[in-house]
Amino acid sequence: MATCSCCCGEDELTKQLDKIIDPYRGQPGGLIQVLTKAQELIGYLPKWALIRIAKALGLSLQDVYGVVTFYAFFSLIPRGRHKISVCAGTACYVKGTKMVTKTIREVLGIKPGQTTPDSRFTLEIVRCIGACGLAPAMIIDGKDVHGRLEPEQIPQILEQYA
């Protein structure tokens, strides 16, 4: 088992996870709800939590893993405090997503799918963020849209989240 980033011990984290699981115990249909709440608690879905969830809901670990890997909003690796989603949809791609992504990679020193060593940022490439008129665009933390991006703007934008 692991400990969470909020300084509580693994025993406390396990107790909190069990409280999330309890209303759904023996009910495989509650998997998505339990996984969502578990990820909110822990920050990602470590193997020990998936095993505990599978046993409690009466599912195989493979079934749970299949759901976690199917949905993009679940993560098996720790994520940073700020999630950067760079749009790679057609409009953004044509308008310069490649250079924006390259600059973010250089500034943060990570590749898409990775988290910075200080756990501040996680970088991901997504198919569309629904901001085609602002291409190229990215969204940070699922709410802050930054559009009409130029590579030179990236350091200043990221500084806002330091």
Per-residue pLDDT reduced to its tens digit, 99-131: 999 999 999 999 999 999 999 999 999 999 999
* pLDDT value of position 10: 66
| Residue 1: pLDDT over 80 | no
Residue type, 12: E
- Report the predicted TM-score, pTM, of the whole model to 2 decimal places: 0.69
Residue type, 87: C
The CA distance from 89 to 85, in Å, is 12
- Domain 82-159 class in CATH: alpha beta
What are the DSSP calls for 47-100, one per residue?
HHHHHHHHHHHT--HHHHHHHHHHSTT--SS---SEEEEEE-SHHHHHHTHHHH
Per-residue pLDDT reduced to its tens digit, 143-159: 999 999 999 999 999 99
Per-domain boundaries in the chain: 10-70, 82-159
Residue bearing the bigger pLDDT, 2 or 9: 9
